[in-house]
Structure 1
Amino acid sequence: MSRHPPLRPLGGLLYGVAHVLPFLADALSYVASFLTVSAIRADLRVRRTEPAGSLWREVADGVRWLVGQPFIRVTVVCVALTNVMFQALTLVLIVLARHLGASSGLTSAVLGFFGCGGLAGAFAAPWIQRRLAPRTVAIGSTWLWGLLLVPIAAMPSPLMLGPLVAAMAFIGPVWNVVVVGYQYKVIPDHMLGRVKSIVLLVSWGAIPFGSLIAGGLLDHTGPRGAVLALSGLTLLVALIASLSPGLRRAAVLAEG
């Protein structure tokens, strides 16, 4: 699945209320995860009809399958690059909010809008999934992210950052449900572990570069220039997605 951080910055807001709250919320989230996973009754095991091969052969099979699927291949690249953007944006927003005169509490509140937008997007995602095709969401999301970053760079008040941050976070769960859900739909059961491990390696492995890029941009361009640079990166991703034949035409269901 893709990684967009709609809830993680909520920790800053909780920490501003009481230092113990983000740790308590994190612990409760694991309890909730345990209970929901325990409630799954379906048998999700895949029974192999042939002996397992070597590790390198299994990985190579997953890579070959992934390379042969244009839709998934392109969306994985888009996720990796937008993950870099979101990771960088979190740090840039902190600096931008302080640059606009926000206190520590107000800065945490601005980041807390990630949580508000993410929760709203999670509730809306099933409704959107029934009405929009995966390629529409994949292309539209990248354009919306890139365009929303432009007014963020121009905001004169930290309070005005909140709704734009929430709008960006709203899109993340929609992407996860529609686009990543499509990935799970078309990847054959016997290839799921191999393919998704590669997908996660690429999409999550890119995340640390976001902090590195944010630091460099802040040093050389300042917070507003950094936001515009991130917008340029995201609009480039949107252009790649829009011009990709794998996203523009209907994705073909993979065969085992």
Structure 2
Amino acid sequence: MAALRDHVLWSNPDLRRSFLGNLTSNLGSAISGLAFPLLVLSLGGSAVQAGLVATVSLVTRLGFRLPAGALVDRWNRRVVMMATDLVRCATLASIPLAALWSTPQYWQLLLVAVVEGLASALFGPANSVLTRDVVSEEQLSQALGADQAMLNTVSLAGPALGGVLFAVDRMLPFAVDAVSYAASALLILRITVRPAAAPGAAEPTEPAERGATAGLRWLAAHRELLVVLFYAAVVNLVAAAVDVVVILELRERGASGTVIGAVIACIGAGGIVGALFAPWLVRRLSIPAMVLAIGVIWTAELAVFTVAFQPVLVGALLAVMMLLSPAAGVAVFQALLGKTPRHLVGRVSAATSLLLNGLAALGPVAAGAAYQAIGGTRTWLVLALLTGAATLGGWLALTATRARAVADSAVLAHAEGDRP
């Protein structure tokens, strides 16, 4: 009990309010995230159209991510987060409101995806800067660990709730998501931010640290982090495709929305178990070892999907696939937030998100197109081969980068030892 009382979420009221706001809005997003492709299919849309809604949202976020990062480094983060939550609330509410008069149209769903994507592009970097504003360096690891546990809990509960709510009424998931954004805005309203400096006060005069692309330039100077982010980008592409292909194949096999939601929720179950062991794993596994382990597990299990696809088996394998992801996330983001200069946090966060989600934006629509063109078995084979190739390349690049860093350190130490 003493350890629980000492946890950063209990001792830091501002972080607790931010955490609860993120929990609420992310849960709503996970609920509607499952419902979007199901709604498109129920309206007579194709597999490509079902995947395109998610892709449009992701592409919009990516297109606005870098300027959004530069803006939130200067603006009041609390105001940005409240405003974007209210915009997303109104946008999601438009779907059930439209259903009161007629059937929602596909173009409306695409428009909702665009507006929601723009608002989320601002919210993400603002949330990262807010975390640095309200959390001390000593509390950062605990805060990131709690965030990983929260995201995986949402991944567990969200799809399951989304499937149940969609089975009750196909508009219900979107209404719940709208309410979740309103609740998040109210929680953020109560945050009293402890800013590190007045907006714009810490803006440097060096050209390399100015402008919207400063975050990308900072990452380019940190080679090991950059390699990890490129590898994670491919994994995220595969993960985005897996979500869509699982939904499409289970739907084709006659599974209900409730069953599909339960299977997708297994991703969150695996993540929760992984989050419990994340601190232990971070202390014992290097980042190259995590890359290799994640890649081997994912490649093997995606290959299994080519020959067996029963709901119980799929759910179990999806859970196992997620066991190491929380530890990898904590290790990478702790390194990022710990090393990033405070005045660049928003832009580095935006650049990181751009790299992580750039390829992932293609995942849903590419998965839908592949499933429609070559079927589920061959799509799973393509995803397995892609993951295996990325794992081998990422592990070799990280090993070479670390060897180069050790050699450079040895040369530097030798040079300093030769000085008179």
TM-score by length of 2: 0.51
Q: 1:50 to 1:108 in 2, by over 3 A?
A: closer
Map Cα deviations across residues 84-123 of structure 1 (whole Å, 9 max, x no partner). 1111111101122234443333222211212222222222
Does residue 218 (structure 1) correspond to residue 371 (structure 2)? The answer is yes
The match for 1:13 is 163
For the pair shown, which has the larger CA radius of gyration, 1 or 2? 2
Q: Which runs of structure 2 are paired with 1:26-105 in the superposition (5 Å)?
A: 27=179, 31=183, 43=194, 45=196, 57-105=210-258
The match for 2:334 is 181
- Percent identical residues: 25
Number of residue pairs matched by the alignment = 251
The match for 1:200 is 353
Equivalent pair of 2:301/2:321 in contact (CA under 8 Å): yes
5+ residue gaps in structure 1? none
Is 24-33 or 220-229 further displaced after alignment?
24-33
Equivalent pair of 1:142/1:235 in contact (CA under 8 Å): yes
5+ residue gaps in structure 2? 1-127, 129-147, 406-420
Find the aligned partners of 1:54 and 1:128 in 2 and give their Cα distance.
39
SS in 2 for 1:130: helix
Cα drift, residue 132 of structure 1: 1.8
Map Cα deviations across residues 183-231 of structure 1 (whole Å, 9 max, x no partner). 2223333333222221112222332200121022112221121111111
Is 16-25 or 126-135 further displaced after alignment?
16-25
SS in 1 for 2:305: helix
The one-letter code sitting in structure 1 at the alignment partner of 2:383 is L
Does residue 232 (structure 1) correspond to residue 385 (structure 2)? The answer is yes
Give the aligned CA root-mean-square deviation in angstroms. Answer: 3.7
Q: 1:74 to 1:96 in 2, by over 3 A?
A: same
Equivalent pair of 1:125/1:174 in contact (CA under 8 Å): yes
Find the aligned partners of 1:120 and 1:187 in 2 and give their Cα distance.
29
Find the aligned partners of 1:56 and 1:188 in 2 and give their Cα distance.
10
Cα drift, residue 27 of structure 1: 4.8
Find the aligned partners of 1:192 and 1:186 in 2 and give their Cα distance.
10
Equivalent pair of 2:215/2:351 in contact (CA under 8 Å): yes
The match for 1:190 is 343
Cα drift, residue 80 of structure 1: 1.8
Instruction: Specify which structure has the higher proportion of helix.
Output: 2
Q: Which runs of structure 2 are paired with 1:124-163 in the superposition (5 Å)?
A: 124-163=277-316
Find the aligned partners of 2:182 and 2:274 in 1 and give their Cα distance.
21
Equivalent pair of 2:223/2:401 in contact (CA under 8 Å): no
Which of residues 271, 281, 293 is equivalent to 1:118? 271
Cα drift, residue 162 of structure 1: 0.9
The one-letter code sitting in structure 1 at the alignment partner of 2:255 is A
Equivalent pair of 2:216/2:351 in contact (CA under 8 Å): yes
Equivalent pair of 2:303/2:384 in contact (CA under 8 Å): yes
Equivalent pair of 1:65/1:195 in contact (CA under 8 Å): yes
Cα drift, residue 75 of structure 1: 1.5
Which of residues 287, 303, 317 is equivalent to 1:164? 317
Find the aligned partners of 2:250 and 2:308 in 1 and give their Cα distance.
10
Q: 1:226 to 1:49 in 2, by over 3 A?
A: closer
